[in-house]
Structure 1
């Protein structure tokens, strides 16, 4: 039965369960007494919800704490083994698949290396399916406890009613690839296990906002700096983040040709692939037959050698120019969105790291408007190379929390009559 605001009793129950689960997850262990003010629920509602969650196996006791003159209070936490998630990072050098428990502890992982010519959609889908099967076996997982598979991909993701998630990845040659349908076509997972497919920069942003350097910020931009560059914008209006194709902002009219085909994109100057290409074009000698990560390590070693050794002037000049382009690109984000924080992640961002950051900050302040530039901090992300995978695993976890910790019920023809369903909705919690 719906109230005046259109919410049913079932909606209220789900919202109460969501509130308790989220507070225990982010701030726990907590006692029932602490959950009241933390969630805004009455003590009776907290007791009912906690009893329900314990009965479902989602919440468990985690010791006790002394109270002021009374009996010790029992602490509660979300039970780590009550659910599992899979996170997938479709990067530009590898496909990484990880299995996590509900506390995002890694249980198993699998990786498949990629070559620049290895972006065939069927091949990628096969790597994901094989990786999922591998981690489920290695982690001795129960597919019945699997909340879903989250996948972070390069490109724009369109969610369609007939084909599921469709990926437009122009830089890797994907034109409206129905990735979700490809994954389901030969999946060994139960039909009820959902897939959550989104842009890799967004999953990186989700991870940093939940567990990394973005915690506590209301407005932030999380930058993915890898073979290419991308960004995720998080604001109060876009709570879970929105991927923005920042790498294809034009920074130079009639400039270098980007992988997307357009001239002068930021990615053509600030992505790791273009950075290495420019070093090669200027006479540098990246190691042959290695992946981009190894080549970038060699470039950094050449530009910043041990004391007493002369640096490679070409590598140093290209890196310094890249820092200026990256700083100028960040200034556009500062002027447009006025964030509290900008966080830089991705494998190339982490490699360049603290050595690169002072120059990037200096150039961002030079090109940005003074007022928003004075209010923003620019730092590295904290979650390391697994951030995209963790963020992808968060996608099914966030949906699970939003549903009050209830898995989707399988479709059935033996549905309750309408009168019976209405009575169940009206039943007291």
Structure 2
């Protein structure tokens, strides 16, 4: 039965379960007494919800704490083994697959390096399939026990009613790739286990906002600095984040040609691929054929040699120019969105690290408007190279929480009645 606000009793119970699960997940262990003010629920509602969650195996006891004069209060926590998720990072240098329990403790991982400039769809799909099968086998976990598999990909993600998720990765040569459908062909996962596919910058942002340097911020931009650059915007209106193609903002009219084909994109100056190309063009000692991560390490060693070694002036100049372009790009994000924090992650961002950050921050502040610049902090992300896979695994976890800790209902095996199909077709989209 629906109330005046349209919510049913089932909706209310689901919301209460979600509230308790999330508080235990982020702030636990907690007692039943502490869950009341933390969730805004009455003591009776807390007791009922906890009893349901314990019966479902999602919550377990975790010791006790003394109370003020009464009996010790039992502490509760989310049971780590009550659910499992897979996170996949389809990067531009490797495909990483990780298996996590419900508390995002890593149980197994597989990495598949990618050959230079080789992003064939069939190769990527096979790496994901094999990686999923391998981590499940390593952990001895049955596929049907998964809550889902989250996948972070480069490019724009489009959800369609007839073809599932399509990936438009212009910089890697992907044009409306039906990734979801391809993964379902020959997948090690049953149809009851959903795939959650989203932009890699968004999954990075999701991880940093839940567990990293973004915790507590209401308005942030998380930047993925890898072979190219991307960003995810998180605001109160878009709590799950929204990927923005920041790397293809024009920073120089008739400038360098970007991988997307346009001229003067930020990515053509600030991405690791372009940074290394500019170093070689200026006579740097980079070696062709070396993977990007190794080449960037070599460039940093040339620019900042240990001890009394002589620095490569070309490497230093290119890095400084890159810092200015990146800072100018960040100033646009500051002026447009006025975030509290800007977080820089991605393998290249982490490699450049604290040595690079002061110059980027200085240029960002000099190009941005004074008022929003005075309110923002620019920091490195805290979750390291696994941030995209962690964020990808959060996608099925967040869906699980939103359902009150219940798995999706299985799809009906028989077709819908004709009258229901007709009504659905007539309903506004």
TM over 0.5: yes
Separation of aligned partners in 2, 1:89 and 1:414: 35
Question: Which residue number corresponds to residue 242 of structure 2?
Answer: 242
Separation of aligned partners in 1, 2:357 and 2:12: 47
TM-score normalised according to structure 2 size:
0.96
Deviations along 1:338-376, one digit per CA (max 9) or x if unpaired, are 000000000000000000000001000100000100110
Deviations along 1:204-230, one digit per CA (max 9) or x if unpaired, are 000000000000000000000000000
Question: Which residue number corresponds to residue 258 of structure 2?
Answer: 258
Separation of aligned partners in 2, 1:77 and 1:316: 50
C-alpha contact (below 8 Å) 1:98/1:107 kept by paired residues: yes
Deviations along 1:213-270, one digit per CA (max 9) or x if unpaired, are 0000000000000000000000000001000000000000000000000000000000
Separation of aligned partners in 2, 1:329 and 1:288: 28
Question: Which residue number corresponds to residue 292 of structure 2?
Answer: 292
Write out aligned runs for 1:6-17 (5 A). Answer: 6-17=6-17
Separation of aligned partners in 2, 1:160 and 1:80: 34
Stretches of structure 2 that go unaligned for 5 or more consecutive residues are 416-429
Question: Which residue number corresponds to residue 282 of structure 1?
Answer: 282
C-alpha contact (below 8 Å) 2:66/2:73 kept by paired residues: yes
Describe the SS at the equivalent of 1:379: strand
Deviations along 1:120-155, one digit per CA (max 9) or x if unpaired, are 112111110010000000011122320000000000
Describe the SS at the equivalent of 2:112: strand
Separation of aligned partners in 1, 2:55 and 2:85: 21
Q: Following TM superposition, by how much is the alpha carbon of 1:312 offset from its aligned partner in structure 2, in angstroms?
A: 0.5
Stretch moving more, 174-183 or 110-119:
110-119
Describe the SS at the equivalent of 1:241: strand
Separation of aligned partners in 2, 1:44 and 1:414: 41
Q: Following TM superposition, by how much is the alpha carbon of 1:169 offset from its aligned partner in structure 2, in angstroms?
A: 0.2
Deviations along 1:88-128, one digit per CA (max 9) or x if unpaired, are 00000000000000010000001111123321112111110
Aligned length: 415
Question: Which residue number corresponds to residue 362 of structure 2?
Answer: 362
Stretch moving more, 135-144 or 220-229:
135-144
C-alpha contact (below 8 Å) 2:30/2:76 kept by paired residues: yes
Describe the SS at the equivalent of 2:64: strand
Separation of aligned partners in 1, 2:405 and 2:24: 12
C-alpha contact (below 8 Å) 2:86/2:393 kept by paired residues: yes
Separation of aligned partners in 2, 1:414 and 1:81: 33
C-alpha contact (below 8 Å) 2:143/2:188 kept by paired residues: no
C-alpha contact (below 8 Å) 1:287/1:298 kept by paired residues: no
C-alpha contact (below 8 Å) 1:82/1:145 kept by paired residues: no
Describe the SS at the equivalent of 2:192: coil
Describe the SS at the equivalent of 1:252: coil
Question: Which residue number corresponds to residue 419 of structure 1?
Answer: none
Separation of aligned partners in 2, 1:413 and 1:115: 42
Separation of aligned partners in 2, 1:390 and 1:318: 32
Write out aligned runs for 1:341-420 (5 A). Answer: 341-412=341-412
Question: Which residue number corresponds to residue 185 of structure 2?
Answer: 185
Write out aligned runs for 1:38-77 (5 A). Answer: 38-77=38-77
Stretch moving more, 200-209 or 3-12:
3-12
Q: Following TM superposition, by how much is the alpha carbon of 1:414 offset from its aligned partner in structure 2, in angstroms?
A: 9.4
Deviations along 1:174-214, one digit per CA (max 9) or x if unpaired, are 00000000000111211100000000000000000000000
Describe the SS at the equivalent of 1:239: strand
Write out aligned runs for 1:23-422 (5 A). Answer: 23-412=23-412
C-alpha contact (below 8 Å) 2:247/2:267 kept by paired residues: yes
Separation of aligned partners in 2, 1:228 and 1:289: 18
The Cα RMSD (Å) is 1.1
C-alpha contact (below 8 Å) 1:165/1:180 kept by paired residues: yes
Separation of aligned partners in 1, 2:236 and 2:151: 24
- Alpha carbons of 1:278 and 1:60: their partners in 2 closer, same or farther (altered >3 Å)? same
Separation of aligned partners in 2, 1:312 and 1:182: 46
C-alpha contact (below 8 Å) 2:144/2:192 kept by paired residues: no
Stretch moving more, 186-195 or 170-179:
186-195
Separation of aligned partners in 2, 1:402 and 1:79: 17
Describe the SS at the equivalent of 2:374: helix
Describe the SS at the equivalent of 1:240: strand
